[in-house]
Amino acid sequence: MTTHRRPKQPSRTRVTVLTSAAAAAVAFSAQAATAAPSVKPSKNEVKARVDALSEEAEKATEEYDGAKEKQEKLQKEISALQDRVARGQDELNALRDSIGAMATAQYRSGGIDPSVQLLLSSDPDDYLDKASALDQVSGKQVATLKQIQEKERGLAQQRAEATEKLKDLAATRTELGKKKKEVQGRLAASQKLLNSLTTREKAQLAAEEDRANRSSTERVNLGSTPSASGRAAAAFQAAQGRIGTPYVWGASGPSSFDCSGLTSWAYAQAGVSIPRTSQAQATIGTRITSVGDLKVGDLVFFFNDLHHVGLYAGNGQILHAPRTGTNVRYESMDTIGGPFMFGVRV
């Protein structure tokens, strides 16, 4: 006889737990469905982040400029070395030709043993003169051989130096490409942030930047601070003539600039050659540690890593190329965004 058993009923405790869990899941799903979307950053927050990215891009730009300057210097050095090697090889070939010609002439004139020639000579004095000439030719041969040896050693050294510089150039080009991508990445991130703004917010930011550019040229009190020197005055005047030109990373004028591109270009117009990057420019001239001692045309450096430079304009103002999206303009040293480190008088 088959026994029929009733299915085992779940315990009241288990039912309660399952019911509670299901209710919690439903509640969570409802909350997730009705939750407010992530808060969109405000226009000012976007601007602050874009400014920070621009600062990072400017730092990378100075590193890019340094790698580019090194590349150009290496290319010039390699070209000069290759020219010297080519000229040296021509000189070496000429020396080898001359030693061959001397050896041929000596062979033709010295086919008989010298002692036999002396015995057979009808004019011993004449023979001795000829022998002396042959000795001189032999001495010239020795000197030429020494020249050949020295020239070969020199060429080997120059070729080795050129090879090392070519390796350095390849590494520098790799670094240049890396820094270029870094700058472009920062700028792309900035543009992405700007694209998240509404049309109205974009217009407001553009208007603010336009006002900053215009006000820096229309209502700036530069005071009466004297120029550091005649060449500093000439450099400053040249930079003044470029007010309103856009900041472009890696640019060194005359139609666009980055910060150190402007300062190096301005001093070049005054007949003074200074390094291309802000960090290198900070190592030249006489250092000025107090703002009160600055004079018009002095280079002024900001941030601990010295990645930003401008020209002192007087009355606490500088003339500089600030960052991407701005133009060459005057600006108060208090609004640069980083601490004043020191000035340099060229």
Tell me the percentage of the chain whose pLDDT exceeds 70. 75
Neighbour tally for 174: CB within 10 Å: 11
> Of 59, 179, 308, 329, which one is the catalytic site residue?
308
4 is catalytic: no
Marked catalytic residue, from 57, 60, 67, 259: 259
pLDDT band with cut points at 50, 70 and 90 for residue 24:
very low
In a domain, 273, yes or no: yes
Beta carbons within 10 angstroms of residue 109's beta carbon: 12
Q: Answer whether residue 259 is part of any domain.
A: yes
Asked if residue 285 and residue 179 are part of one domain, the reply reads no
Residue 74 placed within a domain: yes
The residue range of the domain holding 78 is 43-195
Hey, which of 27-31, 192-196, 221-225, 227-231 has the most confident mean pLDDT?
227-231
| Preceding omega of 114 cis (within 30 degrees of 0) | no
pLDDT in tens, 119-176: 445 565 565 565 555 555 566 666 777 888 888 888 889 999 999 989 998 998 898 8
Mean pLDDT of 303-320: 96
Lowest mean pLDDT among 46-55, 172-181, 243-252: 46-55
Residue at 247 is within a domain? yes
Q: Are 295 and 178 in contact (CB under 8 A)?
A: no
Asked if residue 133 and residue 66 are part of one domain, the reply reads: yes
For the cut 60, the answer to whether the pLDDT of residue 84 exceeds it is: yes
Is residue 70 one of the residues assigned to a domain? yes
Task: Kindly state whether residues 182 and 51 are assigned to the same domain.
Answer: yes
Q: How many domains, the chain?
A: 2
Catalytic-role residue among 242, 276, 320, 345: 320
CATH number at residue 57: 1.10.287.1490
- The domain that contains 250 carries what CATH number? 3.90.1720.10
Alpha-carbon gap, residue 266 to 296, rounded angstroms: 13
Assign 220 a pLDDT band (cuts: 50, 70, 90): confident
Do residue 273 and residue 181 come from a single domain?
no
In the structure, what pLDDT confidence band is assigned to residue 316 with cuts at 50, 70 and 90?
very high
From the list 333, 303, 305, the residue with the least C-alpha distance to 319 is 333
Specify whether 307 is catalytic.
no
- Please say whether the beta carbons of 260 and 277 come within 8 A: yes
Q: Which residue has the tokens 């080795």?
A: 160
- Rounded CA-CA distance 47/56 in Å is 14
Say how far apart CA 68 and CA 58 lie, in whole Å: 15
